[in-house]
């Protein structure tokens, strides 16, 4: 086998591993990161299959923008820090509100 | 069993009810539901027969759900594998598609003036496809805007918007020195690369979509590293609207003109230029720029809307400096 063929086979195996891992992993954040890795591998495979323009698009959209959009969504639905903030607000609304308004006002002044 | 299945199909009861998560319900319903569940559990604890019955029914339904899930997955996989088996082998000469392919490869450079045959295909032979794709992106941006936008007319005083904007201000990464330094090094390269593949799309791999995606990713990195307020200086709602409108209108009119002339048998008098030069390929370069503008603005618009619910400085930040729950001109939730 040619070296490029061996590389293709290795990448395809990695692709399948990533595709399965996206579904199996419990944590959504890890799942998004594995999905971005999947897109990066796919971009290399596109280049090996001699379609570099698809590779560029896959790297920019799949590994970059869509991953970022997933991460923003995770933040919105309260995975991680944002969720902790909302929980804290439910337990003790007063302090968090005060703290929050203080931060925003400080930002305003600058 | 038959009776239970019938009532499940008719939507009267759900044997899996207690296993579902109801945390998304509002407070009143949640409280009522909790009371109901507590009552149910109390009855269950006292009655062993009822316990057995519920366990049996739930076990059956769990197995049923698993069975249906596995069967539908297997069915879908079979359909996909079957359709893959109908595809031609990788790299094989396929008689059904060679006709068009040969024409593109043999006459593409001569007819479109673009050395990159792919560019010639998507922006000359099949320019109508690309027009549709640009409009799909535009429509997607409008849909995200409808769902996520917060502006002066509909800004609310509820917790949801308050925390969206509060966390945007709080988690501003512009003080992160690693991100800032790396962006200073990487951003010029990314933007330059995007502009290169945008302007050289007719000669080398690239073109409107790839360049737009790269430029959009660069803009996202810029606004993440140097703050949304910095990005607001050049990218406002008005800039977004004007860019998308001008690009789509230019594309439609330019391509409509070419189609009209071609369909009526007039000679195409747009100069094709020397193949290989920057100014070659007739209309391909301007159309590439139009598509690139639409794609990059859409990418950045998605990011901006997801992050803080607006493109440009739409939101009155002072509105959110007071504590939530108190109406101040905005709509109460």
pLDDT of B329 > 70? The answer is no
* Whether residue B68 is found in the same domain as residue B122: no
B37 at A interface, C-beta within 8 A: no
pLDDT of B122 > 80? The answer is yes
Inter-residue long-range contacts of B227-236, CB under 8 Å, 24+ positions, other chains counted: B227/B172, B227/B173, B227/B174, B228/B168, B228/B172, B228/B304, B228/B307, B228/B308, B229/B313, B230/B174, B231/B304, B232/B312, B232/B313, B235/B300, B235/B304, B235/B311, B235/B312, B236/B311, B236/B312, B236/B313
Residue A69's CB: how many other CB atoms inside 10 A? 19
User: For residue B204, what is the nearest residue in chain A, using CA coordinates?
Assistant: A53
* Whether residue B192 is found in the same domain as residue B250: yes
Number of domains observed in the structure of chain B: 2
- For the record, the structure tokens of B310 come out as 């607006």
* Whether residue B275 is found in the same domain as residue B219: yes
B299 at A interface, C-beta within 8 A: yes
A75 at B interface, C-beta within 8 A: yes
pLDDT of B168 > 80? The answer is no
Chain A residues with CB-CB distance to B301 below 8 A:
none
Of B159, B170, B307, the CB nearest to A89: B159
* Whether residue B80 is found in the same domain as residue B121: no
CB contact under 8 A, B205 and A52: yes
Residue B104 falls inside a structural domain: no
pLDDT tens digit string along A16-48? 999 999 989 888 899 999 999 999 999 999 999
Instruction: Select the more confidently predicted residue: A9 or A89.
Output: A9
* Dihedral sign for Cα atoms in the order B112, B114, B115, B117: negative
Looking at residue B333, what is its pLDDT?
Answer: 35
CB contact under 8 A, A68 and B220: yes
Compute the distance between CA of residue B60 and CA of residue B16 in angstroms, rounded to an integer: 10
Residue B40 falls inside a structural domain: yes
- The pLDDT of B262-280, averaged and rounded, is 77
Residue B101's CB: how many other CB atoms inside 10 A? 14
Residue B122 falls inside a structural domain: yes
pLDDT tens digit string along B258-269? 888 887 877 777
pLDDT of B315 > 80? The answer is no
Compute the distance between CA of residue B265 and CA of residue B244 in angstroms, rounded to an integer: 32
What radius of gyration, in Å, describes the C-alpha atoms of chain A? Answer: 21
Q: How confident is the model at residue B309 (pLDDT cuts 50, 70, 90)?
A: confident
pLDDT of A81 > 50? The answer is no
* Whether residue B72 is found in the same domain as residue B122: no
CB contact under 8 A, B220 and A98: no
Percent of chain B at pLDDT > 90 equals: 26
* Whether residue B69 is found in the same domain as residue B188: no
pLDDT tens digit string along B211-254? 999 999 999 999 888 877 778 888 888 889 999 999 999 999 98
**Is residue B219 a contact partner of residue B296, using CB atoms and an 8 Å limit?**
yes
Chain A residues with CB-CB distance to B226 below 8 A:
none
**Domain with B37 in it:** 2-85
* Whether residue B181 is found in the same domain as residue B35: no
Instruction: Select the more confidently predicted residue: B22 or A31.
Output: A31
B30 at A interface, C-beta within 8 A: no
**Is residue B315 a contact partner of residue B165, using CB atoms and an 8 Å limit?**
yes
Rounded to 10 degrees, what is the CA torsion of A90, A82, A74, A107? 130
CB contact under 8 A, A105 and B167: no
- How near does any CA of chain B get to the CA of A44, in Å? 15
* Whether residue B300 is found in the same domain as residue B234: yes
Of B66, B85, B104, the residue that ends a domain is B85
User: For residue A57, what is the nearest residue in chain B, using CA coordinates?
Assistant: B210
- How near does any CA of chain B get to the CA of A11, in Å? 17
Q: How confident is the model at residue A96 (pLDDT cuts 50, 70, 90)?
A: very low
Instruction: Select the more confidently predicted residue: B24 or B68.
Output: B68
User: For residue A94, what is the nearest residue in chain B, using CA coordinates?
Assistant: B323
* Whether residue B53 is found in the same domain as residue B145: no
Instruction: Please report, for residues A34, A44, A94, B41, the alpha-carbon distance to residue B2 in angstroms, rounded to integers and kept in the order given.
Output: 44, 54, 54, 25
CB contact under 8 A, A65 and B303: yes
Average pLDDT for chain A = 77
Which DSSP state fits B273? -
Of B85, B102, B123, the residue that ends a domain is B85
Distant-in-sequence, close-in-space partners of B168: CB < 8 Å, separation ≥ 6 = B228, B307, B308
Of A72, A104, A105, the CB nearest to B307: A72
pLDDT of B295 > 90? The answer is yes
pLDDT of B77 > 90? The answer is yes
User: What is the pTM for the complete model shown?
Assistant: 0.72
Distant-in-sequence, close-in-space partners of B223: CB < 8 Å, separation ≥ 6 = B230, B231, B300, B303, B304
Chain B residues with CB-CB distance to A98 below 8 A:
323
Chain B, 186 to 225: residues with Cβ < 8 Å from chain A are 197, 205-207, 209-210, 213-214, 216-217, 220
């Amino acid at each position: 086998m040619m070296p490029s063929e061996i590389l293709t086979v290795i990448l395809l195996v990695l692709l399948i591993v990533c595709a399965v891992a996206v579904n199996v992993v419990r944590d959504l954040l890890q799942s998004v990161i594995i999905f971005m890795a999947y897109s990066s591998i796919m971009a290399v495979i596109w280049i090996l299959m001699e379609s570099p323009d698809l590779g560029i698009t896959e790297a920019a959209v799949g590994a970059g923008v869509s991953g970022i959009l997933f991460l923003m969504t995770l933040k919105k639905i309260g995975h991680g820090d944002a969720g902790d903030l909302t929980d804290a607000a439910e337990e003790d609304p007063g302090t968090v509100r005060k703290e929050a308004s203080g931060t925003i006002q400080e930002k305003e002044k600058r | 069993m038959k009776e239970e299945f019938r009532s499940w199909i008719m939507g009267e009861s759900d044997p899996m009810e207690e296993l579902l998560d109801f945390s998304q319900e509002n407070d009143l319903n949640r409280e009522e539901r909790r009371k109901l569940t507590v009552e149910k559990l109390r009855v269950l604890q006292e009655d062993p027969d009822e316990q057995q019955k519920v366990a049996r029914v739930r076990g059956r339904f769990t197995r049923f759900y698993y069975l249906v899930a596995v069967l539908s997955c297997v069915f879908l996989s079979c359909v996909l594998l079957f359709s893959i088996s109908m595809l031609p082998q990788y790299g094989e000469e396929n008689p059904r598609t060679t006709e068009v392919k040969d024409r593109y490869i043999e006459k593409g450079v001569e007819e479109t003036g673009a050395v990159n045959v792919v560019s010639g295909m998507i922006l000359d032979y099949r320019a109508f496809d690309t027009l549709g794709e640009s409009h799909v992106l535009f429509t997607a941006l409008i849909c995200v805007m409808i769902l996520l936008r917060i502006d002066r007319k509909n800004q609310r005083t509820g917790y949801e918007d308050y925390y969206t904007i509060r966390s945007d201000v709080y988690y501003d990464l512009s003080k992160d020195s690693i991100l800032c330094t790396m962006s200073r090094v990487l951003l010029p390269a990314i933007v330059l690369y995007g502009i290169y593949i945008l302007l050289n799309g007719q000669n080398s791999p690239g073109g409107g979509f790839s360049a737009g995606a790269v430029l959009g990713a660069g803009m996202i990195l810029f606004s993440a590293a140097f703050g949304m307020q910095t990005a607001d200086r050049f990218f406002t709602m008005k800039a977004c609207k004007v860019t998308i409108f001008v690009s789509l209108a230019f594309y439609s009119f330019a391509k409509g003109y070419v189609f009209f002339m071609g369909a009526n048998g007039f000679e195409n008098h747009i100069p094709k230029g020397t193949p290989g030069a920057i100014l070659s390929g007739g209309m391909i370069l301007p159309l590439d720029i139009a598509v690139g503008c639409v794609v990059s603005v859409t990418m950045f618009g998605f990011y901006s809307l997801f992050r803080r619910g607006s493109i440009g400085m739409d939101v009155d930040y002072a509105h959110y400096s007071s504590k939530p729950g108190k109406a101040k001109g905005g709509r109460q939730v």
